[in-house]
Amino acid sequence: MPLPPRVSDLTGFDLLLSVARLGSLGRAAAEHGISQPAASARMRQLEGRLGLALIDRSPRGSTLTQVGALVADWAQTVADAAATLDAGVAALRRERDSRLRVAASMTVAEYLLPTWLTALRAAGSGAAVALSAVNSAEVAKAVLTGAAEIGFVEGLGTPDGLHAEPVGQDTLTVVIAPSHPWALRRRGVPPGELAATPLVSRESGSGTRAFFEQALRAQAGLERVPPLAELSSTTAIKAAVAAGAGPAVLSSLAVAAELLAGTLCAVTITGLNLDRTLLAVWAAGRRLDGPARDLYAIARSARPVRTPKGSR
């Protein structure tokens, strides 16, 4: 035997309670900001749904029937419980909206997120932001475990359990010290020579390193030799390259100032496309809301432009 439909819409019951309290359907309609005909239609709809006569209608006005008075008593308990539920949900939303946990890869955290967070604050968000600047593998882990509501990575693929959306483009740039022999090259460096050259590199798990290695494999069928050094800081890598340790592959966002100042030089790599997409990631099957949704919208609208590589 099928169960009868549950009565979950409290709009009609709220109106019934107003009639019981005010003693008039007209006054109840005014309290709810609707016309008396609309209130009467709403009450008929409630009566039809319940299969009960709730109001006696006469030329002198409308009053509750005995059944209507009993239903109103029960409805008051439900309305009080609904008010408690609404208050609790509102409190949870306020708590959620008061903080935002973000995980971002080093490139995004250092060169893009400060601007995005400033825009978030300017938009009126009072959320306290907790930012974890880690490599792309750790960003994915933070979002999957719930340690962050949203993450930003330099994407290759998307791990299982995450949903990803593009928020901009970036280009990897091969940089050297001005004294490096490649600085004299006019025709660029082929992928094979780049793959065979030990580089100053980010650690395993870095999105920049993973993207570069995948580009070599996919576009040129090459595997790179082991790194000259593995450093977890972009600043440390730039300092090592400028000191003559060797070439490095870094985001164009990260080296723009050094290229402009001439402390680093960009090298053209022939036959290798190093453009990549920046991604926002969050748990699959979950909708972004609150400050996380607002931050994603800001990042998406910003659409970072590829930074010019500068001259060799």
Spans of all domains in the chain: 11-96, 99-302
Report the DSSP beta bridge partners of residue 61.
58
158 band by pLDDT with thresholds 50, 70 and 90: confident
Across the chain, mean pLDDT equals: 85
Interacting residues of 221 by C-beta distance below 8 A, sequence separation 6+ = none
CATH 1.10.10.10 fits 11-96, yes or no: yes
Measure the CA–CA gap between 130 and 165, rounded to whole angstroms: 21
pLDDT > 70 in the chain, percent: 89
pLDDT in tens, 206-220: 888 989 999 999 999
| 293 vs 297: CA distance, rounded Å | 6
Residues 171-197 have a mean pLDDT of: 93
What are the structure tokens assigned to 47, written together?
């009566």
55-112: pLDDT as tens digits: 887 777 677 888 888 888 888 888 877 777 776 666 566 655 568 999 999 889 989 9
Residue 183 DSSP class = G
Task: Give every CB contact of residue 175 below 8 A, 6+ residues apart in sequence.
Answer: 238, 241, 247, 248, 249, 250, 255, 258, 259, 264, 265, 266, 267
Q: What is the pTM of this model?
A: 0.65
List, for residues 243-286, the tens digit of each pLDDT value.
Answer: 999 999 999 999 999 999 999 999 999 999 999 999 999 999 88
pLDDT band at 311 (very low <50, low <70, confident <90, very high): very low
Length of the chain: 312
Q: What is the pLDDT of residue 261?
A: 94
- Ranges 71-85, 180-194, 235-249, 297-311: which has the least confidence: 297-311
Is the pLDDT reported for residue 53 higher than 70? yes
**What CA–CA distances, in Å, run from 230 to 209, 236, 306?**
10, 10, 25
Of 217, 138, 211, 220, whose CA–CA distance to 172 is shortest?
Answer: 211
Amino acid at 196: A
pLDDT computed for residue 269 by the predictor: 93
Q: What is the pLDDT of residue 1?
A: 40
Beta strand segments in 37-196, E: 55-58, 61-64, 99-104, 128-133, 150-154, 162-176
Given CATH 2.40.30.20, say whether it is the number of domain 99-302.
no
- Give the three-class secondary structure for 297: helix
Examine the pLDDT at 227 and tell me if it is beyond 50: yes
Asked if 11-96 and 99-302 have one fold, the answer is no
Q: Has residue 302 got a pLDDT over 50? A: yes
Nearest to 153 by CA among 199, 143, 213: 143
pLDDT given at position 247? 97
